[in-house]
């Protein structure tokens, strides 16, 4: 039980440390509200909260591509498509989602001996991978910010 509380606290801190826009920051607090509302703080309740956070991060990633990266001419040219609906960015995002799904399913199956909930392990993995991906993209956006002016 202590392990679960420590893990939830760590995931909450990770969630707060994301570089999100003000509108996304409001949605981000939904994850913490969900954790606080969990009556018994079971693995499955926590997994449901993680699933909502993954969905929020997926939307934030799509917004970052659409509203930041695709405003730069050289990235539009590299994308060779129509925004998020075609091209290299869509293909890259689809491949990331496929990798994330398969890897986290494998992770949950492998690590099941440490926890009784595959859903918890899978969503924990998905949240971690998605958070790391979002943070990398956010840093890339900061690093090339001079091109956006």
CB–CB of 14/31 below 8 Å? no
- At 62-113, the pLDDT tens digits run 999 988 888 888 888 888 866 566 789 989 999 999 999 999 999 999 998 8
Q: What is the mean pLDDT of residues 41-54?
A: 88
Alpha-carbon span 72 to 50, nearest angstrom: 32
Dihedral sign (CA 119, 124, 125, 129): positive
Q: Cα dist. 84→23, 89, 109, 120, 130 in Å?
A: 21, 6, 32, 30, 18
| pLDDT band with cut points at 50, 70 and 90 for residue 114 | confident
| pLDDT band with cut points at 50, 70 and 90 for residue 35 | confident
Q: What is the pLDDT of residue 135?
A: 96
DSSP assignment of 50-117 equals: HHHHHHHHHHHHHHHHHHTGGGSHHHHHHHTSSGGGSSHHHHHHHHHHHHHHHHHHHHHHHHGGG-S-
Work out the widest C-alpha separation in the chain, in whole angstroms: 52
CB–CB of 118/43 below 8 Å? no
Q: What is the pLDDT of residue 105?
A: 96
Mean pLDDT over the full length of the chain: 78
Q: What is the pLDDT of residue 5?
A: 35
* Residue 142 confidence (pLDDT) above 80: yes
Q: What is the pLDDT of residue 2?
A: 37
Alpha-carbon span 137 to 45, nearest angstrom: 29
By percentage, how much of the chain surpasses pLDDT 70?
73
Tokens of 126: 């998905």
Q: What is the mean pLDDT of residues 116-139?
A: 93
- At 16-27, the pLDDT tens digits run 344 444 344 555
Q: What is the pLDDT of residue 14?
A: 41
By percentage, how much of the chain surpasses pLDDT 90?
41
Task: Show Cβ contacts of residue 112 under 8 Å, excluding neighbours closer than 6 positions.
Answer: 118, 121
């Amino acid at each position: 039980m202590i392990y679960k509380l420590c893990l939830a606290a760590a995931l909450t801190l990770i969630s707060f440390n994301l570089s999100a826009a003000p509108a996304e920051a409001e949605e981000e607090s939904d994850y913490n509200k969900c954790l606080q509302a969990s009556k018994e703080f079971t693995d499955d309740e926590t997994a449901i909260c993680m699933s909502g956070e993954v969905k929020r991060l997926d939307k934030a990633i799509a917004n970052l591509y659409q509203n930041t990266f695709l405003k730069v001419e050289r990235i539009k040219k590299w994308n060779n498509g129509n925004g998020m609906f075609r091209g290299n960015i869509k293909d890259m995002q689809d491949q990331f989602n496929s990798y994330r799904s398969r890897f986290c399913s494998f992770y949950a199956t492998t690590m099941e001996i440490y926890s009784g909930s595959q859903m918890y392990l899978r969503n924990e993995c998905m949240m971690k991978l998605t958070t790391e991906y979002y943070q990398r993209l956010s840093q890339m956006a900061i690093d090339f910010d001079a091109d956006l002016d």
